[in-house]
Amino acid sequence: MLTTAAAELGRLIAAGETSSVEVTRAHLDQIAATDQRVHAFLHVDTDGALAAAAAIDARIAAGEKLGPLAGVPIAVKDVVTTKGLPTTAGSKILEGWRPPYDATIVERLRNSGLVILGKTNMDEFAMGSSTEYSAYGPTHNPWDLNRIPGGSGGGSSAALAAYQAPLAIGTDTGGSIRQPGAVTGTVGAKPTYGGTSRYGLIAFSSSLDTPGPCARNVEDAALLHAVIAGHDPRDSTSIPAPVPDVVAAARLGASGDLSGVRVGLVKEFSGEGGEPGVMAAYRDAVDALTKLGAEIVEVSCPHFEYALPAYYLIAPSECSSNLARFDGVRFGLRVGDDGRNSLEEVMSATREAGFGPEVKRRIMLGTYALSSGYYDAYYGQAQKVRTLITRDFVAAFEKADVLVSPTTPFVAFPIGSRTSDPYQMYLADLFTIPSNLYGGPAISVPCGLSEGLPVGLQIMGPTMADDRMYRVAAALETVIAPLTPPKL
């Protein structure tokens, strides 16, 4: 049952061939058996999950027709608020905090009958590419427990690869859904920015943060996408337009025919930049797309090489502002309040004690980039480069329906091997960042192995054409041998 697709679990539960309680209990047992070694979860809600599952079973027994994922368990990244369930964003500053409300996407999960198993580990406030910056210790990649599961959403992707959950929620600011998906051999999709609501996401970089689905296959990801996407009046950047039919697109792609689809190879991402084994798997995937009938075209995006610097100015700038709310007044930790220290001293002591090193680095970097005297050269320039990157995408999508690249330049690296050099860590997001700056959708789908470790292909689409990437990803899935992690 643990290896069964979410779509199939939903069918079996609806048909009464199994129950949500049975499926939920199986996954809770797997978490209990494996999470000592994987550490994908920060909090497991055993009682809540079983109660929610029993309620779904009762509704099905009463003859209610629920959605295709009703009764299926799901893991939720700990940066997403869940009413009454601990939500820390991987930070000590929020240890013990229980949000008084659900994020919109969590509300939609519950309304569609999904069963929340618990909250998954992540780099603190979603800043990182390895989950090593979690204040609660790293998550281990089920493919090799000495290696990172990617980040920031390493917990969600590791939970899938460890068969602890058939579905998970991630958030993607610079690659935090796609890069963990790639290095764990799972599927991760970043929807169009504004296509999924940010209400209830603990904000890192508001103009980039995008919640999205994580799964072990493309159809499951599409089904979850359909549950969480759509306009939300509580998010002022939510797009008031119909959600593309991603489920139909995934099913169309599963027919294995891509004739008439133009796939663009980004010239700037096709040469160097990736490990040889990653680039070889990427080229094999492109060959596979050709055999499926796709037309391959080369496109040039000359400003993509500046995406990483632009991102590391824009995201820290927004983070330095967003994280000002953690001041020891309304929620979370308070340190140094001895009756003599001033408010400012208490705030500074609280933030010093509550934030980890990567968060501090980014807050200071953002504060620097926004300082008068540096603003034009850094933040202002980065916003202009963002315009040029968007123009590169728009021009490329005149020649191609989707663009492809490796998802990340390297396979899962050993835990501890990049933490001393923050910039080396930043390079993990080299290929994923452009879509965040532009706002378009992008998915990572497994495309092979390098040195026995998973490699992902990234498929990028134009804004509000999320269906295209699902079609191409599902087609590729029909010809790539399934990547099965070693038994834990």
Binding positions for another protein, 193-212, rule CB under 8 A: 193-194, 207
Distance between CA atoms of 183 and 149, rounded to whole angstroms? 6
Q: Is 378 left (phi over 0), alpha (psi -120 to 50) or beta?
A: alpha
Q: Which of 152, 134, 132 is nearest to 92 (CA)?
A: 134
Please name the residue that has the structure tokens 């309680």: 21
Residue 368 vs residues 133, 152, 356, 377: alpha-carbon distances, Å: 22, 24, 19, 11
Catalytic residue, chosen from 152, 320, 405, 450, is 152
Q: Which amino acid is at 222?
A: A
Which of 127-135, 165-173, 384-392, 466-474 is the region at the interface with another protein (rule: CB under 8 A)? 384-392
Strands 167-172 and 73-77: parallel
Known catalytic residue at 291: no
Q: Which of 368, 375, 417, 449 binds another protein (CB under 8 A)?
A: 368
Q: Is 10 or 441 the residue whose CB approaches another protein more closely?
A: 441
Which of 122-130, 142-150, 176-184, 350-358 is the region at the interface with another protein (rule: CB under 8 A)? 350-358
Q: Is 465 in the site for another protein (CB under 8 A)?
A: no
Q: Is 11 or 391 the residue whose CB approaches another protein more closely?
A: 391
Task: Report the nearest approach of another protein to the CB of residue 369 (Å).
Answer: 9
Q: Which of residues 237-266 bind another protein (CB under 8 A)?
A: 237, 239
Non-local CB neighbours of 17 within 8 Å, separated by 6+ positions: none
Q: Is 236 in the site for another protein (CB under 8 A)?
A: yes
Residue 276 burial class via C-beta count within 10 angstroms: exposed 0-12, middle 13-18, buried 19 and up: exposed
Q: Is 283 or 375 the residue whose CB approaches another protein more closely?
A: 375
Q: Which of residues 137-176 bind another protein (CB under 8 A)?
A: none
Q: Is 271 or 339 the residue whose CB approaches another protein more closely?
A: 339
Q: Is 86 in the site for another protein (CB under 8 A)?
A: no
DSSP secondary structure string, 19-74?
A: -HHHHHHHHHHHHHHHHHHH--EEEE-HHHHHHHHHHHHHHHHTT----TTTT-EE
Q: Is 99 in the site for another protein (CB under 8 A)?
A: yes
Q: Is 378 or 410 the residue whose CB approaches another protein more closely?
A: 378
Q: Which of 8, 380, 417, 465 binds another protein (CB under 8 A)?
A: 380
Q: Which amino acid is at 367?
A: T
Catalytic residue, chosen from 19, 20, 77, 435, is 77
- 152 upstream amide cis, omega within 30 of 0: yes
Q: Is 273 in the site for another protein (CB under 8 A)?
A: no
Which of 63-71, 136-144, 172-180, 303-311 is the region at the interface with another protein (rule: CB under 8 A)? 303-311
Known catalytic residue at 92: no
Which of 72-80, 249-257, 385-393, 395-403 is the region at the interface with another protein (rule: CB under 8 A)? 385-393
CA angle, 177 then 78 then 116, to 5°: 95
Q: Which of 133, 113, 186, 136 is nearest to 35 (CA)?
A: 136
Q: Which of residues 328-347 bind another protein (CB under 8 A)?
A: 328-334, 337, 339, 341-347
Catalytic residue, chosen from 176, 197, 238, 270, is 176
Q: Which amino acid is at 455?
A: V
Known catalytic residue at 152: yes
Which of 154-162, 274-282, 320-328, 480-488 is the region at the interface with another protein (rule: CB under 8 A)? 320-328
Active site amino acids: 77, 152, 176
